[in-house]
A and B are shown apart, each in its own frame.
Chain A
Amino acid sequence: MGVDRRAFLGLVAGGAVGTMFTPIPWKLLDDVSIWTQNWPWIPKVPKGQIDYVTTTSKLCPAGEGLKIMRVAGNPITASGNPAHPLSSGGVSALARSEVYMLYSPARVKSPMKKSGKAFVPITWEQALIEMADKLGAAKGSVACISGDQSGTVNEVLSAFVGKLGTAGYFMMPSEATTAAKGMQVMGGKGQAGYDFENADTVLVLGADIFETWGTSTRNRKAFSAKRPVGVKPASNYIYVGPTRNNTAAVCDQWIPASAADLGVVALGIAWHLIKAGATSAAPGFDTLRAVVNGGFGPDDVKRATGIEPAVLAGVAKALASSKAAMVVTGSPFGQGLGAGAFMAGMALNILLGRINKPGGVYALPELATVVPGAMTREAMLKADLPGFLKAVADGKKPAPKALLVYDANPAYGLPEAATMAKALEKIPYKVSFSSFMDETAAMCDLVLPNSLTLERYDDVVTPYGSGFCIYSLVTPYQKPVHDTRPTGDVILALARKLSIELKFDNFLQVLKEKVASLAKTSGGFVAKDVMPWQVAAGKPAPALAGGDLWKALSAGYAWTMVGSVTQTGLGFAPEVLAKAVKPGKTSGKTVTLAPYAQLRTGTPTTGIPCQDLTMVPDTELLGETTMVRMGSATAKALGVKPGAMVKLTGAGTHCKAQVHIFESVMTGVVSAPLGFGHTAFDIFSKGKGANYLALLPVTEEPGTGMSMWAAAEVKIA
């Protein structure tokens, strides 16, 4: 018995032939397409139930409400929340990054302690013990820098630092700091809020309202609503600034003017308005008229800015004849503008009678603080961080013994970087609560990573630019990816260790108390069917259903309130205006540097979100080189060729750049992108281009004494 060779071969051959008549070989062949799709090293997509939850973006300064898609409970993507007044379904490239930035390679994965030049991981308990010890020793001289413009966590931090003995509580400079200073000098109260939704003629002085200024996503939604596709626009937007930036690209008119001249332009328009009969009962009107007539007539403005008298007359006419005109002033790159330009812009709003009117500027009240000993936002915005650090660097002020840095990156995000770094180095003990290993964190003795938006409870309270008071909640939807903790909780734990009484055990309690206090505020309502701008326009505000506020906020709705602080002394402050608003000057071989910022390159605290690098055009960043933009006339005057590598020198330092000819930059100006030149973070940020903010020297604004750096001369060679 057995199978002989012949039978075996026959069997094999017969089997082979027989198989050819079955679908097996053909099926196997066809399956190759599937095998070749699913290599083991190609990631598999997750499977599971899809659902949607809501929260609010903390990475994006525009404060959009977010709709998070989850699969099997894991966040997948972030979209705009259509029900949220600051989003209406829109989302910025930065807010879109909220989910994947949880896994950014730049994240600090656990508490880190500086050891020599490197960091070593330590436990939270060790970190708290060390910090309690060091801060206890530094009592009376602890400073804090916060980059969170809109969170209640500032109350916890400021109360904590206050009770330790403060050397100053500083906000990173922004449009809000400028506006707060301006309002204060003009004798006004409250936070300037802009009702874009109801405005029909908007004069934008410098502010990049559709990119980085204030509630930019909401601003664009409001702009879009008045301009249905394919129909004649129902609004008129005029942009004044050094470049036709992203905002100016969609405005109806662009008037080229240097950031240093924005106040001059505003007062030049005031001249036309006053000549046409505009008047005001606000204090200082007569002096203002004299100031305007004395130095801001059409010829003066033309001499200073090159703007034709007819152009400004046209703007004045458009504003005066409009039912709802509004003037918005800001820095083209979101910081460094002196209060003078802001005040000049506000002067126009007052002249036009647009304060606390629908489609105008509201003076928004601040929500009550809940943490005992906390500073108000108004008080926080008063401090001048660049001025302080400069004084520390120069030895004019003593360096604080300890510094806490929350959600801020002053080593990168401030002007005159060399000076700021020098000041920071003088501070002997520094702690950063950054989520990412940024430039400042890299300088600190201790890094205590903050949990990210989707990992923590937090809130967004009336971001600057919003036309109404707004409160929205940040809700965690997953356990922290790394060994991170919400800074609010860390500070409260630390306070207990130092026996400092802050009333709360954890940050969630603070938020609950904050929400409870909102429920008691009259006039507030949950924006659901009725939006705050509709209320501003006259629609009755719905009543707040008592008790359900936390639930409504958790469901992604925002608490809003339309209203304004009663003004007692808001006036023109013409004496200060006369000193602060002066024509800028350019001379010889220098040009004016006009930086611009975009949300796609993140903020100083986020670095460039890894997916957003793809959004950066190759006319901005190519390989490791950033490009600066200038018109062909400027390039010719400087003797530089398109594509040439140049060196920009200013504020005692220099940066490299490639020349990109772009004719929508006014002559005599070189426009440079911000958000590049990181020396920290990850492969998506580090070593990409140069940080042109470092080229801007900090100067003191005459009249207000405020630090400013909106436009500076640089040398190009």
Chain B
Amino acid sequence: MSGHSFKEFPITWGMVIDIDKCTGCGACMASCQTENNVNPQPEATNKLRSTSWMLVYELTNDKAFPDHDVAFLPRPCQQCGNPPCVSVCPVVATDKNEDGGIVSQIYPRCIGCRYCVAACPYHVRYFGWYDPIWPEGMTKTLSPLTSVRPRGVVEKCTFCHHRWNLAKDAARAAGKDPEDLEDGAYVTACVQNCPSGALSFGDLKNPKHKVHELIKSPYAFRLLERLGTKPQVYYISRREWVRKLGDNYLKSEKTE
């Protein structure tokens, strides 16, 4: 039994992350923080308490010098096709029912029980341990597109959902079909600003979108696929050890 099944969406937003191009600079994280009104955190070195909807992990092949290798893995919310977090929420504060297949998070609904935090193996869910504080005056730079969360609720990456609304509005204004956006009309802040071009974004089901083809690459994989979460975030690496780190394998399976 793997939770209740979720429907398929004709538009399925997804991200493709080319690990072989990511230099680990953190521009995606920086972009996310300010785009989504995450407050600056003076104690951010405690990674178990700081909030970073987008987080860059450092991966290594665990070998000694000089065979050692490094890769960086940016991790937004995986927007699972079968999200472990949604069915557990007692108050429907998180859901996956809107076209686009983005796992929503309704802050005014969340009671802060953190069951979703426990259920998510990707650690994409963050709890507001304290009320958010900005240095004096800095609230003038808050984005009007994302609400500021009070403490005590869970928050997470939304694939910059507000940008989708902006893109649909722009399409309508230009007399185009908002349900059939052009490739690149809607991208998240991290994808837009990545200097390395490591991040791609689009409708996984739309053949006119680049990501539709990218996910078919033999080098593409998803995180913890065998748990049945069906993430909408794909990773690409030509390095086998990187792909192997995307999931757990028994010793007997490692010979494949």
Interface residue from A90, A102, A216, A246 paired with B193 (Cβ < 8 Å) = A90
Query: Which residues of B have CB within 8 Å of A71?
Result: 143-144
B97 within 8 A of A: no
Determine whether the beta carbon of B21 is less than 8 Å from that of A224: yes
The B-contacting residues of A in range 645-697, CB under 8 angstroms, are: 663-667, 682-684, 688
A225 within 8 A of B: yes
Q: Cβ of B102: which chain A residues have Cβ within 8 Å of it?
A: none
Q: Which residues of A contact B63 (CB under 8 A)?
A: 663
Report, as a range, how many residues of chain A touch the other chain.
35 or more
Quick check: which of A72-80, A412-420, A578-586 contacts chain B, the rest being far away?
A72-80
Determine, out of A30-38, A121-129, A150-158, A188-196, the stretch whose residues face the partner at the interface.
A30-38
User: Contact at B192–A100, with CB atoms within 8 Å?
Assistant: no
**Are A250 and B29 closer than 8 Å at their CB atoms?**
no
Chain B nearest Cβ from A643, distance in angstroms: 15
Q: In the complex, A500 Cα to B148 Cα: how many Å?
A: 52
Residue from A48, A92, A102, A618 within 8 A of B45 (CB atoms): A618
**Contact status B193-A80, CB under 8 Å:** yes
* Residue pair B25, A211 in contact (C-beta under 8 Å): yes
A221-B195, A230-B219, A611-B40 known; A91 and B31 CB under 8 Å? Answer: yes
**Inter-chain contact B69/A244, CB cutoff 8 Å:** yes
- The verdict on B173 contacting chain A, using a C-beta distance below 8 Å, is no
Residue of B21, B52, B147, B200 near A37 (CB, 8 A) is: B147
* Contact residues of B between 177 and 220, Cβ < 8 Å to A: 189, 192-198, 200, 210, 213-214, 217, 219-220
What 0/1 readout, one digit per residue, does chain B (217-256) give for beta carbons within 8 Å of chain A? 1011000000000000000100000000000000000000
Contacts of A37 in B (CB 8 A): 107-108, 147, 150
A610, CB-defined interface residue at 8 Å: yes
- In the assembled complex, the Cα of A467 lies from the Cα of B188 at a distance in Å of 30
Within 8 A of A (CB), among B132-150: 132, 134-144, 146-150
A513 interfacial by beta-carbon distance below 8 Å:
no
CB-CB under 8 A from B108, the residues of chain A are: 33-34, 36-37
Q: When chains A and B are docked, how far (Å) is the Cα of A691 from the Cα of B60?
A: 27
In the complex, the answer to whether B131 meets A90 with C-beta atoms within 8 Å is no
Question: Shortest Cβ distance from A40 into chain B, in angstroms?
Answer: 11
What are the residues of chain B within 8 A of A50 when measuring CB–CB? Answer: 144
A43→B24 contact, CB < 8 A = no
Q: How far is the CB of A691 from chain B (nearest CB, A)?
A: 17
Residue contact A103 to B138, C-beta cutoff 8 Å: yes
Q: Is the CB of A230 within 8 A of B220?
A: yes
Task: Please choose the segment from A6-14, A173-181, A619-627, A703-711 that sits at the chain B interface, where 4 or more of its residues have CB less than 8 A away.
Answer: A619-627
B26 touches A600 (CB 8 A): yes
Please, which residue of chain B has its CB at the minimum distance from the CB of A623? B45
Beta-carbon nearest neighbor of A249 in chain B: B70
CB atoms of A229 and B107 under 8 A apart? no
Query: Chain B: interface residue count, which band?
Result: 35 or more
Q: Does B72 contact A (CB under 8 A)?
A: yes
A631 on the B face (CB < 8 A) = yes
What's the Cα separation between A301 and B45 when bound, in Å? Answer: 42
Q: A663 and B144: CB pair below 8 A?
A: no
The reply to whether the CB of B158 lies closer than 8 angstroms to some CB of chain A is no
Q: Answer whether residue B68 sits at the interface, using C-beta atoms and an 8 A cutoff.
A: yes
In the complex, whether B175 has a CB less than 8 A from a CB of chain A is: no
Measured between C-beta atoms, what is the minimum distance from B200 to chain A in Å?
6
Chain A nearest CB from B71 CB (Å) reads 7
- Judge if A118 is at the interface, Cβ distance under 8 Å: no
Q: With A91-B31, A224-B198 given, is the CB distance from A664 to B70 under 8 Å?
A: yes
Closest chain-A Cβ to B61's Cβ sits at a distance in Å of 9
The reply on B50 being an interface residue by CB < 8 A is yes
Give a binary string over A222-264; 1 marks a CB under 8 Å from any B CB, 0 the rest.
0111010110000000000000101101100000100000000
Given A37-B150, A664-B70, A230 contacting B64 (CB threshold 8 A) = no
> CA of A217 to CA of B140 in the docked complex: distance in angstroms?
27
A-contact 0/1 string along B32-66, CB 8 Å cutoff:
01110110111011110011100010101001111
CA of A244 to CA of B64 in the docked complex: distance in angstroms?
13
B16: interface (CB < 8 Å): yes
Which residue of chain A lies nearest to B197 when distances are taken between CB atoms in the complex? A224
The answer on a CB contact under 8 Å between B45 and A249 is no
Complex-state Cα separation, A714 to B51, whole angstroms: 36
Output the residue of A44, A74, A76, A665 with the most chain B CB within 10 A.
A76
A41-B131, A92-B25, A614-B52 known; A100 vs B148 contact (CB < 8 Å): no
Q: With a CB–CB cut-off of 8 A, which chain B residues contact A102?
A: 137, 141
In the complex the two chains form, is A93's CB within 8 Å of B26's CB? yes
Q: Is the CB of A105 within 8 A of B135?
A: yes
Q: Is the CB of A45 within 8 A of B195?
A: no
Contact B21–A227 (Cβ < 8 Å): yes
Q: Which of A572-600 contact B (CB under 8 A)?
A: 598-600
Q: How far is the CB of B6 from chain A (nearest CB, A)?
A: 25
Checking A74, A220, A227 against B23 with a beta-carbon cut-off of 8 angstroms, the contacting residue is A220
Question: Once the chains bind, are A246 and B148 in contact (CB under 8 Å)?
Answer: no
B27 on interface, CB distance cutoff 8 Å: yes
What residue in chain B is nearest A49 (Cβ atoms)?
A: B144
Chain A residues, Cβ within 8 Å of B219: 230
The answer to whether residues A230 and B23 also contact, given A42-B150, A90-B195, A667-B65 and a CB cut-off of 8 A, is no
Q: Which of B23, B141, B220 contacts A99 (CB 8 A)?
A: B141
User: Quick one: given A104-B135, A229-B18, are A43 and B196 in contact (CB under 8 Å)?
Assistant: no
Check if B171 is an interface residue, CB within 8 A of chain A: no
Q: Does A632 contact B (CB under 8 A)?
A: yes
List residues of chain B with CB within 8 A of the CB of A600: 25-26, 30
Whether, in the assembled complex, A612 has its beta carbon less than 8 Å from a beta carbon of chain B, the answer is yes
| Chain B positions within 8 Å of A612 at CB level | 26, 30
Q: How far is the CA of A100 from the CA of B213 in the complex (A)?
A: 38
Which 3 A-B residue pairs are closest in the complex by CB-CB distance? A224-B197, A90-B195, A615-B26
Given contacts A93-B27, A96-B193, A609-B30, 18 further A-B pairs with CB under 8 A are A43-B142, A45-B143, A77-B141, A89-B192, A90-B196, A92-B27, A96-B30, A103-B138, A224-B21, A244-B70, A249-B72, A598-B25, A613-B40, A614-B40, A614-B51, A623-B46, A632-B65, A684-B40
Q: Supply 16 A–B pairs (Cβ within 8 Å), ascending by A.
A: A36-B108, A37-B147, A42-B149, A46-B140, A75-B141, A79-B31, A80-B192, A91-B31, A105-B136, A224-B21, A229-B214, A598-B25, A610-B135, A611-B38, A616-B44, A621-B45
User: B residues touching A (Cβ–Cβ < 8 Å)?
Assistant: 16, 18, 20-27, 29-31, 33-35, 37-38, 40-42, 44-47, 50-52, 56, 58, 60, 63-66, 68-72, 107-109, 131-132, 134-144, 146-150, 189, 192-198, 200, 210, 213-214, 217, 219-220, 236
